[in-house]
Amino acid sequence: MNIRTLTKMALLAAAALILGYIDSLIPLVPSVPGIKLGLSNLVLLYAVFYMRPVETVILMLVKVGLSSLLFGNAVGALYALAGGIFSVAAMLLLHRIPHVSAVPVSTVGGILHILGQCLVGALLISWKPVLFYAPWLFISGTATGLLLGVAARAAFFGIERYERRNGA
């Protein structure tokens, strides 16, 4: 890994931490804890499309580790790690299909993130509360994944237009 890539990853990790903190300040559904926009996942979505898979995985691990250390706890880290592994794996696989845009990649990532978290919840707590809570989480994961995918697609269009214009 060269210095340019390392610097880019450090900046992306910082952006993910800032977006994650902002995300924690926005209560989407106050009566249902744990539902967030997942703004920091925009950074991972960028990495899926513009970086190598190994760099994307490293970025996810750094994001989960630092977010848990700064804003969370060990149990939250398990949920975030499981969700991150499931979502990044799914997004990287789906991105390999030609002409698949950020919208379905992000949506599937959101759904698989919830699946990973539900599996951890079932292992740590039990299946009964997870089964009760899961439908709300899957609805929110699908909706936020779709919303972030639309935002990412617009941002990627701007990035690609800038790179074409400036020869980057």
Q: Tell me the pLDDT tens digit for each residue of 91-128.
A: 999 999 999 999 999 999 999 999 999 999 999 998 88
pLDDT beyond 80 at 157:
yes
Q: How many CA atoms lie within 13 A of 61 on its CB side?
A: 7
Tell me the pLDDT band of 168, cut-offs 50, 70 and 90: low
pLDDT beyond 70 at 31:
no
Helix then strand then coil, % of the chain, to nearest 5: 80, 0, 20
The Cα–Cα gap between 74 and 37 comes to: 21
The Cα–Cα gap between 107 and 91 comes to: 9
Whole-structure pTM value: 0.89
Measure the CA angle with vertex 17, ends 167 and 29; round to 5°.
Answer: 115
Say what angle helices 41-50 and 127-166 make with each other, to 10 degrees. Answer: 50
Locate the domains of the chain by residue range.
3-166
Q: What is the pLDDT of residue 32?
A: 66
Tell me the pLDDT band of 51, cut-offs 50, 70 and 90: very high
**What is the assigned CATH class of domain 3-166?**
mainly alpha
CA–chain centroid gap for 132, Å, is 24
Q: What is the pLDDT of residue 109?
A: 96
Of 83, 93, 75, the C-alpha closest to 36 is 83
For the chain, percent of residues with pLDDT exceeding 90: 71
Tell me the pLDDT band of 18, cut-offs 50, 70 and 90: very high
The Cα–Cα gap between 61 and 4 comes to: 19
